[in-house]
DNA sequence: TGCCTTATTGACATTGATTCTCATAATCAA
DNA sequence: TTGATTATGAGAATCAATGTCAATAAGGCA
């Protein structure tokens, strides 16, 4: 664990959600000037491979990252507005989801000899504001 | 409906799955020489906005597209290998999924005043071959 | 049918996120 | 420390995707 890595991890674990690499880079310049954009990308990929952060592909042309907090209270998925790109986290239906996911994982792991490590659920649509325009 | 648009739609509806824009462009050159890459991108975005094709973000640096076939038999989601990128379609648990999705949509649409139009579920992990290497 | 307005196309340039390169600097075990 | 290994930062390079624009096609209407 080096200084830049700690800075990035600390920033992600305390900041608001869904930050792009550029946003993280810019935000860190204030507190840790001199940190390079390459390092930000490298570290984010490293943390994602380690399962410490989640890399989100939300369709706005850049990857976004969020700290993966443990346990039921941290577990969530996303509503994504296809018009303006706003992201809403929701935490409902944890138990029902878990039930389906467990069942699915068990069956699919066997059938396809696939080792499932993670899952994503997302809902696409129009947010309150964008609904009015269409 | 113009000729290039029909060519792209026809190609997508009959081809195998998960094609990138470049792959579609290259494949079409044989049958419809002269078609432009911009037109491929424009048409794919158009078809995606119309809900005729699905735009997939699978983490390999490019968007992939698949024809959205109607009904229970066409409905599926994906297992994605985070090492080699292979994509497996699965069609299991349609009813269980539908039940959860309906419940979720109803609650979230109200709570967040969000108009849900579509949903994705994906499982990430290691495929049979890549499992052995790690 | 012919005319006119509007939308689409294809070639090319441009953008912009991400990765690569490489010389320098930091890390860590012995 | 010391030497080998790994990480860093600056800039260049890559490459998917979009923008530009003149030429072409489509479709409505008299």
Q: What is the mean pLDDT of residues B70-74?
A: 90
Q: Which nucleotides of C are covered by protein (CB under 7 A)?
A: 8-12, 16-21, 26-28
Instruction: Using CB atoms, pick whichever of B96, B114, B128 lies closest to residue A114.
Output: B128
pLDDT digits (tens, 9 = 90+) for B75-130: 999 999 999 999 999 999 999 999 999 999 999 999 999 999 999 999 999 999 99
Which candidate in B51, B125, B133 is best for mutational testing of the A interface (most A CBs within 10 A)? B125
Q: What is the pLDDT of residue B1?
A: 85
B79, B108, B125 ranked by CB distance to A123: nearest: B108
From the alpha carbon of B1, which nucleotide's C1' atom is closest? D26
Q: What is the pLDDT of residue A78?
A: 97
Structure tokens at A57: 């592909």
Does residue B134 have a pLDDT over 80? no
Note the CATH architecture for domain A69-134: 2-Layer Sandwich (3.30)
Q: What pLDDT, on the 0 to 100 scale, is given for residue A102?
A: 96
Would you call A113 and B96 a contact, using CB atoms and an 8 Å cutoff? Answer: no
Instruction: Give A5-43 pLDDT, tens digit per residue.
Output: 999 999 999 987 899 999 999 999 988 899 999 999 999
Domain boundaries, chain B: 1-68, 70-134
The model's pLDDT over B7-31, given as tens digits with 9 standing for 90+, comes to 999 999 999 789 999 999 999 998 8
Residues in contact with strand D, defined as Cβ under 7 Å from any of its atoms = A 2-5, 34-39, 42-43, 61; B 1-3, 20-22, 37-38, 41, 45, 61-63
Percentage of residues of chain A with pLDDT beyond 70: 100
- Out of 3.40.50.300, 3.90.79.10, 3.30.2130.10, 3.30.1490.190, which CATH number does the structure's domain B70-134 have? 3.30.1490.190
* Residues of chain A scoring pLDDT < 70: none
pLDDT at B90: 96
**Quick one: pLDDT at residue B133?**
83
Query: What was the pLDDT predicted at B131?
Result: 92
CA of A36 to C1' of C22 (A): 15
CATH architecture of A1-68: Orthogonal Bundle (1.10)
């Amino acid at each position: 664990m080096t200084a830049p890595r700690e800075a990035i991890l600390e920033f992600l674990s305390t900041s608001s959600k869904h930050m792009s690499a550029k946003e993280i880079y810019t935000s860190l310049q204030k507190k840790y000037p001199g940190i390079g954009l390459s390092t930000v990308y490298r570290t984010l990929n490293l943390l994602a491979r380690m399962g410490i952060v989640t890399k989100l592909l939300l369709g706005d042309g850049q990857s976004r990252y969020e700290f993966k907090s443990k346990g039921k209270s941290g577990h969530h998925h996303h509503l994504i507005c296809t018009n303006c790109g706003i992201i809403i986290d929701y935490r409902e239906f944890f138990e029902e989801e878990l039930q389906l996911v467990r069942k699915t994982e068990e069956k699919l792991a066997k059938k396809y000899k696939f080792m499932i490590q993670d899952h994503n659920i997302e809902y696409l649509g129009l947010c309150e504001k964008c609904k009015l325009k269409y």
